[in-house]
Amino acid sequence: MEIIKSFSFGGFPSKAVLCNKQELLPSDTALFVADHHTRELISLPEGLAEVTLIPGEEGKQWDAVDKILKTAMEEGLARDSLICGAGGGVVTDMTAFAGSLYMRGCRVILIPTSLLAMVDAALGGKTGIDAGVYKNMIGTFYPAEEVRICPELLRDLPLKEYMNGLGEVLKTAIIGDADLLQLLVEKREAVLARDTEILSEIIRRCILVKGALVEEDLREKGRRAFLNLGHTFGHALEAVSEFRWSHGAAVIWGTVKALEASVRLGLASPDWAEEMKSLFLGYGYELEALEDPQAILEAMKMDKKKQKGKLRYILPAGPQDIRIEFLDPDFVLEVLKVK
């Protein structure tokens, strides 16, 4: 087991580690949470209490959290008992949310099984569930004490889910790691081929970028908001499309919209914006959406990242140069109409 780094997130100790499949499940796990897809990835000791959830975003609702909490009570878990969640961002979010609520907070260790969860969702303490189609509207900040990452699990990940995670990788590189961005430009074929050595380096770099921002700003009052690049636009597209757009693909589309807004405001150069669009196209992402721009704008009004009733937009002015802007809705609508 290799420690990537030990962090302190708002007083919560949390560490991210690379490990092999045999090291994934902590020996003192009291309750194991997974979904129907990820349950088979890890061998469980006989008699271990477990909860198996419906996979996918549609299952990210209160009923699933309630199931975890009721099982914890039935099994007599205490505050120092360990709940371990293995899955993508949906499972890790709901496991940590349940852990934050059980006896006002019990131990949680997360085992991300998707690239998106490894580089983003499982680290940093954001937990929660959706409210209908509106993403992550109900939740807490509760960092897991440990995130155990096994890149080997990505070999059999469906292509759509792998690309889902790469969307967050590309976003992270633009935000905070010039060397990672260059790696993604130069090693595209190896990245798409899921080269284990390169994946380990990508995961490590993403963890360090996100971890540094969360250590500085657990509750997203300042620079942690940079991690939302592409998300205000992207979450709205997910909602309007009823999740036909996957999260990573929507984040890339949202990043393109943020780039277009940034160019219109004179923050980003048109040439650099086109370079980023070409990079996204080279990885096979769709940069245009057929959904109604007005409907997308209306969905944005439900975004939880508002300040004093106004939406914050995270705009890239250049590599590792991120700005937070409050934009007029008419301006945003014009950006949304650009094809």
Q: Could you say which of 15, 148, 204, 235 is catalytic?
A: 235
CA angle 58, 137, 215 (to 5 degrees): 115
Indicate if 39 belongs to the active site: no
Q: Residue written as tokens 């939406």?
A: 311
Q: Which residues pair with 324 in a beta bridge?
A: 314
53: which 2 tokens?
């959830």
Distance CA 33, CA 52 (A): 6
Indicate if 168 belongs to the active site: yes
Distance CA 283, CA 269 (A): 22
Q: Could you say which of 247, 257, 260, 291 is catalytic?
A: 247
Indicate if 337 belongs to the active site: no
Indicate if 228 belongs to the active site: yes
Indicate if 37 belongs to the active site: no
Q: Could you say which of 37, 204, 231, 257 is catalytic?
A: 231
Q: What Å distances lie between residue 272 and 143, 175, 261, 268, 335, CA to CA?
A: 35, 14, 13, 7, 18
Indicate if 210 belongs to the active site: yes
Q: Could you say which of 40, 104, 308, 339 is catalytic?
A: 104
Amino acid identity for residue 308 in this structure? K
Q: Could you say which of 60, 164, 228, 238 is catalytic?
A: 228
199: which 2 tokens?
């994946």
Distance CA 168, CA 171 (A): 5
Burial class (CB in 10 A: 0-12, 13-18, 19+), 260: buried
CA angle 127, 130, 132 (to 5 degrees): 170
User: In this structure, are residues 156 and 41 in contact, taking their beta carbons and an 8 Å threshold?
Assistant: no
Distance CA 127, CA 93 (A): 5
Pairing of strands 146-149, 321-326: unpaired
Q: Could you say which of 107, 164, 171, 220 is catalytic?
A: 220
CB atoms within 10 A of CB 324: 15
Q: Could you say which of 15, 126, 148, 257 is catalytic?
A: 126
Catalytic residues: 104, 126, 168, 210, 220, 224, 228, 231, 235, 247
